[in-house]
Each structure stands twice: as structure tokens, then as C-alpha cells.
């Protein structure tokens, strides 16, 4: 586990979904390094630390996991290519909370890029299995259509090994646009990063949080114009960020983060300065 946040009657707990590194220029797209380098660290080769921290949301009605992490199926070559620096430990983190994989009711995926979806299917004793065998996996219909029929660009990130078992199961729940999954948790189609990218809002007893997925991969991407080179529809990303960041500021909402190297959640002011934050807490592992 990396940290937690109380949100009304909800409890948000970040799980260790793995860590890797990406090229800084690609991660910040059109933004010059002289600007983003002041807000986010990089190494001598221009690589930036990227995390994959699924969020466990404990509500009075259900256990919900947002995103799935890197999984445990990456080959050694893939680990080298993506410069994996930390292993996926979601089942172990759940066990430390007294939970089983079978206890999860819903898995919400903002989109199906490998670094968000690989943890949907895990390898156990030489077999591929759904990590959360009882959970409803909520994906936008547009996103799933593209998963099944990727183009030349998306084919490099929509890997069949992460989707085929879910396709064959009865655990897939496709939605069109906005839908309340459980009381206080809604998914909404945003597009932008991918055609079917969705965002997630959470509200309990007047307290709010929003999960923008890859529209806000790190706290340094708060400026609506700071988008990644991976965004397939950049103007849509900018428009959605403007809309939902305004909403969050008006409601004093937390922004939950999945890929930030240091922060799990933030509250910002109108200029994008971090006013409050939940930092990742390293947990001592048994030797």
C-alpha cells in the first residue's frame, strides 16, 4: 500500500501496481523541457519516473478498484523496454488489508492501455486468470470497440493478452457515457487520450474527488495545455481538462493520481499550485 485518504464515508487506499520510466519529452508532449523540468524530475537520459497505483475505494456498499496496474505477465524484454523499476503487488497489498481478490465488486478502467489494464489478467501457477474473478469490469463501449479493433497506433498498447480472458467472461460491463456504478461513484466519457477514455467522480457526504486518468497523469500536467504525446485527440483532452478542473476547483475536490512518481492525490489552486497533497508512503517489505 502507498497511502490513504478519507472522503466522507469512503476510504481511498492506493495499491502498488508497479513503477516504470518513460521518456520525458513524450510524457510532456509539446511542453519544452525548460518548463516541465522545473516541475517534474528526470534522469540524465531524460526519463521520468511513472507509477501505476490502482486506487481501492471502500464504500458502504462495495469495494471498487480504479485501474489495474502493470500485472505480473511482462516478459523480461518488456521490462527492459519500459524500464520497470517496481513490481506489481496488488494481490499482496489486498491481503495485507485482510481482503481477497474475490472480494472486489467493481474494477473501473479509464481506458485499456497496457499500463492501466495489464493487471486485469494475472498469471498464477502457469495459468492466466482474472485478477478479480467476481468483479464487474466497467469500460466505455467506444474504448472496448477500439480494443477489439485497434488501429496502427493503438495496436502497440491494446494487448490481446490483457483483454481476451475478460472478453470471454461474463465480467465485462460496457457503458455509454455517464453512469453511476455505485452510490456516489460515476464514470463519464471524456475522450481525449483515447476515443473511449473515461473519468471517474466520487462524492460522499459533500466531499468530492475526481480521477482524470491520463488527462492528468501527474500533478505537473495540471495546466490544460500540458498534455502528453500519447493523447490521440489532444484538443479534446484540453477541453475536458478545462471543464473538469474548473468543476473540481469549484467543489474543492481532490484529484486522485495514478501515475505520479510521488503524489497520490492533490488539491490545487487556480494557478495549478499544489495546496494539499497525499504523498506515497513506502512500506517496509519483509525480507
Give, for all 287 residues of the chain, the pLDDT tens digit: 668 999 999 999 999 999 999 999 999 999 999 999 999 999 999 999 999 999 999 999 999 999 999 999 999 999 999 999 999 999 999 999 999 999 999 999 999 999 999 999 999 999 999 999 999 999 999 999 999 999 988 888 999 999 999 999 999 999 999 999 999 999 999 999 999 999 999 999 999 999 999 999 999 999 999 999 999 999 999 999 999 999 999 999 999 999 999 999 999 999 999 999 999 874 433 32
Distance CA 242, CA 224 (A): 6
Kindly indicate whether the domain formed by 3-279 is annotated with CATH number 1.10.10.10: no
Please enumerate in sequence order all residues whose Cβ is within 8 A of that of 124, keeping only pairs 6 or more positions apart, or say none: none
Give the pLDDT confidence score for residue 13 in this predicted structure. Answer: 98
pTM comes to 0.95
Question: Are the C-beta atoms of 141 and 172 separated by less than 8 Å?
Answer: no
pLDDT of residue 91: 98
Separation CA 107–CA 198 (nearest Å):
13
Query: In sequence order, which residues have a C-beta less than 8 Å from that of residue 19 and are 6 or more positions away?
Result: 49, 50, 51, 52, 84, 85, 86, 261
Amino acid at each position: 500500500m502507498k497511502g490513504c485518504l478519507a472522503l466522507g464515508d469512503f476510504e481511498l487506499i492506493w495499491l502498488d501496481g508497479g513503477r516504470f520510466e518513460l521518456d520525458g519529452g513524450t510524457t510532456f508532449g509539446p511542453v519544452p523541457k525548460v518548463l516541465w523540468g522545473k516541475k517534474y524530475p528526470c534522469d540524465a537520459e531524460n526519463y521520468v519516473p511513472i507509477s501505476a497505483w490502482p486506487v481501492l475505494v471502500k464504500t458502504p456498499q462495495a469495494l471498487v478498484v480504479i485501474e489495474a496496474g502493470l500485472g505480473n505477465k511482462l516478459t523480461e524484454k518488456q521490462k527492459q523496454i519500459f524500464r520497470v523499476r517496481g513490481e506489481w503487488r496488488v494481490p499482496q497489498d489486498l491481503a495485507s488489508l485482510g481482503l481477497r481478490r474475490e472480494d472486489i465488486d467493481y474494477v473501473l478502467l479509464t481506458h485499456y492501455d497496457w499500463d492501466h489494464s495489464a493487471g486485469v489478467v494475472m498469471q498464477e501457477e502457469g495459468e492466466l486468470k482474472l485478477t478479480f474473478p467476481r468483479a464487474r469490469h466497467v469500460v466505455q463501449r467506444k474504448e472496448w470497440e477500439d480494443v477489439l479493433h485497434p488501429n496502427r497506433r493503438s495496436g502497440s498498447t491494446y494487448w490481446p493478452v490483457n483483454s481476451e480472458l475478460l472478453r470471454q467472461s461474463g465480467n465485462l460491463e460496457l457503458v455509454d457515457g455517464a453512469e453511476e456504478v455505485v452510490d456516489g461513484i460515476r464514470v463519464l466519457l471524456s475522450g481525449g487520450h483515447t476515443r473511449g477514455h473515461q473519468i471517474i467522480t466520487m462524492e460522499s457526504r459533500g466531499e468530492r474527488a475526481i480521477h482524470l486518468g491520463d488527462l492528468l497523469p501527474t500533478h505537473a500536467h495540471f495546466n490544460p495545455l500540458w498534455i502528453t504525446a500519447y493523447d490521440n485527440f489532444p484538443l479534446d483532452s484540453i477541453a475536458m481538462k478545462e471543464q473538469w478542473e474548473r468543476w473540481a476547483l469549484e467543489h474543492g475536490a481532490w484529484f486522485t493520481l495514478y501515475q505520479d512518481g510521488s503524489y497520490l492525490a492533490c488539491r490545487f489552486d487556480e494557478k495549478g499550485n499544489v495546496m494539499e497533497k497525499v504523498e506515497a508512503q513506502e512500506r517496509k517489505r519483509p525480507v
